[in-house]
Structure formats: structure tokens, C-alpha cells
């Protein structure tokens, strides 16, 4: 239960940063106006000077997530290679923050750093030949899907100590294996992989691949 230095000067940035750190440690439910105030040895109402309401605090967290994206350079390779690289860059920035990743979906176009990412994806899709409408729909969907990749990863959510995690995984496996093999043969066959993702990197690679290949696929339709 490490807390921020007792009397660091407050500001949007400092507060958003420590809110993000708190979410990473204890989950998004732990991020509370009152808790955050307490961690900074200040009254809850003090935060309302820096944020209009809690939603603005969450905006601040999302902004930091977007700011963590380091976009790869644009190359002269085919558009889908570049698209893959951008999505991977986005994924890498989000992966360390599974608890808060859901915040970004609705906020891409509301933060400057988010707009930069969106602009890049839109540009690549335009280069691939999609219309402005298609481009808009696909770009938003791609970014959201990368987020989904993270939040849908099999296995219990982090922010648990590893002992509790292991127990949860074993329980999950047991439940799935106990299902009727007549009704759910494939669930039973895939039980272990459904309960826990053994190789995260290959899971994420496959996911990004699926998306990029999907875009290629609908382009030639």
C-alpha cells in the first residue's frame, strides 16, 4: 500500500498518474475520489479544483495511456505492414494497463494523443483505398479490437497475488473439465487454453494478425 509522497504539489497530471498507478495495483474499482485524496493527504473536495468530476479524472487516465504510444515511423513498405506495426505499438502501450484499458475506447477522439494515433490509422486505411466512411468505421473498430484483445485474454484478471491467481486458474480448469463431454466436447477439449493463456505473446500476435488480415480481406471484396 505504497502511497504518493505526502505533500507533492497537486495537479491534473500528478493526480491522473497516481490514479493510473492505483488502478494498475488494485484495479479500477479502487480508483475513487476519496481514496485518491487520502493517498495525497488531502480532502476529497480538493480534487474538484483539478477535475470537474470523476469522469474528467478518468479522461486524464486515458490521456496518459494514449501518450504512452510510440508510433513507428512511416515506411515505404506496403500499407498492411505499417498497419500491423501501428497496432502493435498501440497494443504494447496498453498491455501494461489491463485494468484501465476499457477507458480508451470511448475517448480516442477526445484526447490529443489519442487523435494522433487515430490519424495514423485513418491515413493507412485511406492509403489502402478505403472510402472516408469505411476508413472511419474500420479505424475505430481496429483500435477497440486491440483493447478487446487485452480484456478478453483468457485467465483471471491481474491485481491478484500469484497464489490466488493460480488457485483461480485451477478452479476454472476443473469446472470446464467437469462439463458434459457429450454436450460440450470442444469446450472440454480446449478447457486448459480457455482457462489460461499459456503464451501471451503468441496470443497477441495472432490477434493483431487476425485484424490486419481481416482488413486485407474486406478490401478485396
| Contacting positions for a second copy (CB under 8 A) | 105, 109, 115-116, 118-119, 122-123, 126, 132-141, 144-145, 147-149, 151-152, 154, 172, 176, 179, 183-187, 189-190, 192-194, 197-198, 203, 206-207, 209-218, 221
Least distance from DNA to the Cβ atom of residue 58, Å? 10
Instruction: Give the binding-site size for DNA (rule: CB under 7 A).
Output: 17
Residue owning grid cell 493483431:
208
CA 46 to chain centroid: 29
d(CA 208, CA 202): 10
d(CA 104, CA 142): 13
32 interacts with DNA by CB under 7 A: yes
What is the C-alpha radius of gyration for the chain, rounded to an integer number of angstroms?
20
- The runs of H, that is alpha helices, within 1-131 are 12-26, 33-39, 47-50, 54-67, 79-94, 112-127
Least distance from DNA to the Cβ atom of residue 67, Å? 22
17 interacts with DNA by CB under 7 A: no
- Among the listed residues 187, 24, 201, 196, the one whose alpha carbon sits nearest the alpha carbon of residue 100: 24
Return the number of the residue (48 or 141) whose C-beta is nearest DNA: 48
48 interacts with DNA by CB under 7 A: yes
Partner in contact with 67, chosen from DNA, a second copy, none, beta carbon below 5 to 8 Å by kind: none
Residues of this chain that interact with DNA (CB under 7 A) are 9-10, 32-35, 42-46, 48-50, 53-55
Amino acid at each position: 500500500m505504497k502511497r504518493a509522497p505526502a505533500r507533492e504539489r497537486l495537479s491534473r497530471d500528478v493526480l491522473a498518474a497516481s490514479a493510473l498507478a492505483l488502478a494498475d495495483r488494485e484495479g479500477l474499482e479502487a480508483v475513487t475520489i476519496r481514496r485518491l485524496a487520502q493517498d495525497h493527504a488531502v480532502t476529497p473536495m480538493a480534487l474538484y479544483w483539478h477535475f470537474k468530476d470523476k469522469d474528467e479524472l478518468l479522461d486524464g487516465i486515458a490521456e496518459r495511456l494514449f501518450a504512452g504510444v510510440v508510433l513507428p515511423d512511416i515506411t515505404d513498405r506496403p500499407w498492411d505492414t505499417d498497419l500491423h506495426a501501428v497496432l502493435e505499438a498501440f497494443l504494447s502501450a496498453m498491455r501494461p494497463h489491463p485494468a484501465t484499458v476499457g477507458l480508451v475506447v470511448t475517448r480516442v477522439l477526445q484526447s490529443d494523443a489519442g487523435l494522433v494515433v487515430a490519424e495514423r490509422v485513418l491515413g493507412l486505411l485511406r492509403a489502402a483505398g478505403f472510402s472516408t466512411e469505411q476508413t472511419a468505421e474500420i479505424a475505430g473498430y481496429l483500435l477497440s479490437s486491440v483493447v478487446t484483445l487485452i480484456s478478453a485474454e483468457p485467465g483471471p484478471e491481474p491485481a491478484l497475488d500469484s497464489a490466488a491467481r493460480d488457485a483461480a486458474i485451477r478452479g476454472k480448469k476443473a469446472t470446464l473439465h467437469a462439463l458434459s463431454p457429450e454436450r460440450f466436447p470442444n469446450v472440454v477439449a480446449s478447457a486448459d487454453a480457455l482457462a489460461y493463456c499459456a503464451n501471451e505473446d503468441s496470443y497477441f500476435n495472432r490477434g493483431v494478425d487476425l485484424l490486419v488480415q481481416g482488413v486485407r480481406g474486406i478490401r478485396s471484396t
